[in-house]
């Protein structure tokens, strides 16, 4: 047997090395160009979330380094010495009050600071639903795929030109309203670059919104483990330049074909179009 094989210290070192080697591969997947960083942010609302993220990161990072630094310092300073005497201490009331009050105040500050962001991102009453420019999409999640329903060229719901596609395609610069339902279990629509993440809860219609400032194609993930083929819910979303929008929209319409109401798709059967009008507003 190799010497030291049973030594927990050696195994702890091996585990630490493995953790550092493995982490970028595991967590940095598909974002290799950005390494450990968050994926690129493509909306102003997403930037606000990132700023909050980084503020918390630096605050907790500083506290982590300070407390671990103090720990190491004291371990070394007060290590066992020949002739050293033990000291009984009951703690220091003043210091304990200080390190309880300061984090409490910081936590309260963060709590207050995030309220606006939360309301902007999540409150259906604040989402720009009535904006004449708003582009609304109905998203239906099911094991194990996403379906997207769009208004037809008449720009009205509940008319014969509404159509369903398997891809999320939306215009750049306009507010996009997402109405989300699930046909079976809880799923979560995650558009990482937009910092958009919303659970699809069976029995409810969830509302969310975003406004992209960059055109391109990115990945959709289901961020809620929803069954054995959860991984199959990887999809793609597309943000289209205003100049290219009419052509892209026409192509979607073409690909989808007309809705056959005598033989409705699962989407229309589960989420009757008549219900749409009553949910709006
Ligand atoms: Cu899912």
Work out the average pLDDT over 106-114. 93
Cα(244) to ligand 1 centroid in Å equals 31
Provide the pLDDT confidence category of residue 281 given band limits of 50, 70 and 90. Answer: very low
From CA 137, how far away is CA 249, in angstroms rounded? 13
E strands along the chain, which residues?
135-142, 145-150, 163-165, 168-171, 176-182, 187-191, 196-200, 206-210, 216-222, 235-240
Cα(139) to ligand 1 centroid in Å equals 12
At residue 19, the pLDDT reads: 79
C-alpha separations of 113 from 49, 126, 194 in Å:
11, 17, 20
Quick one: what percent of the chain has pLDDT higher than 70? Answer: 89
Work out the average pLDDT over 151-163. 85
Cα(127) to ligand 1 centroid in Å equals 25
Cα(200) to ligand 1 centroid in Å equals 9
C-alpha separations of 78 from 3, 14, 71, 85, 190 in Å:
31, 28, 11, 10, 50
29 pLDDT above the threshold of 60:
no
Provide the pLDDT confidence category of residue 22 given band limits of 50, 70 and 90. Answer: low
At residue 256, the pLDDT reads: 83
At residue 25, the pLDDT reads: 54
27 pLDDT above the threshold of 90:
no
Q: Coil, strand or helix: which one is 250?
A: helix
Cα(229) to ligand 1 centroid in Å equals 8
From CA 182, how far away is CA 26, in angstroms rounded? 29
28 pLDDT above the threshold of 60:
no
Work out the average pLDDT over 26-46. 74
Greater model confidence, 157 or 213: 213
Q: Which residue has the tokens 């054995």?
A: 228
Cα(221) to ligand 1 centroid in Å equals 8
Dmax over Cα atoms in the chain, in whole Å? 92
User: What mean pLDDT, rounded, does the chain reach?
Assistant: 86
Q: Which residue has the tokens 């990072």?
A: 61
Residue 58's Cα: distance from chain center in Å?
A: 20
Listed range (25-34, 106-115, 169-178, 202-211) with the worst mean pLDDT = 25-34
Interacting residues of 176 by C-beta distance below 8 A, sequence separation 6+: 134, 135, 136, 137, 170, 209, 210, 211, 212
Beta strands across the sheet bearing 206-210:
163-165, 145-150, 135-142, 176-182, 206-210
Structural domains of the chain, ranges and CATH numbers in brackets: 10-24+32-122 (1.10.287.90), 135-279 (2.60.40.420)
């Amino acid at each position: 047997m190799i010497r030291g094989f049973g030594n927990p210290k050696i195994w702890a070192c091996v585990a630490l090395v493995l953790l550092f080697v493995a982490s970028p591969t595991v967590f940095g997947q598909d974002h290799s160009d950005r390494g450990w960083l968050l994926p690129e942010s493509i909306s102003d609302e997403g930037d606000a979330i990132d700023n909050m993220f980084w503020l918390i990161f630096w605050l907790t990072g500083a506290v982590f380094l300070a407390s671990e630094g103090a720990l190491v310092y004291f371990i070394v300073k007060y290590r066992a010495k020949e002739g050293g005497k033990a000291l009984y201490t009951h703690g220091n009331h003043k210091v304990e009050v200080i390190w309880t009050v300061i984090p409490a105040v910081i936590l309260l500050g963060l709590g207050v600071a995030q309220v606006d962001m939360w309301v902007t991102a999540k409150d259906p009453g604040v989402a720009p639903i009535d904006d004449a420019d708003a582009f609304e999409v109905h998203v239906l999640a099911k094991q194990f795929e996403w379906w997207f329903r769009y208004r037809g060229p008449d720009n009205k719901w509940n008319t014969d030109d509404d159509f369903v596609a398997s891809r999320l395609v939306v215009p750049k610069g306009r507010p996009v309203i997402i109405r989300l339902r699930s046909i079976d279990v809880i799923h979560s629509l995650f558009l990482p670059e937009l910092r958009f993440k919303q659970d699809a809860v069976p029995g409810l219609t969830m509302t969310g919104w975003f406004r992209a400032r960059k055109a391109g194609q990115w990945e959709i993930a289901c961020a809620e483990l929803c069954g054995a083929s959860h991984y199959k819910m990887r999809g793609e979303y597309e943000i289209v330049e205003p100049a290219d929008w009419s052509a892209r929209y026409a192509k979607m319409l073409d690909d989808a074909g007309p809705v056959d109401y005598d033989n409705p798709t699962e989407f229309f059967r589960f989420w009757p179009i008549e219900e749409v009008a009553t949910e709006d507003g």
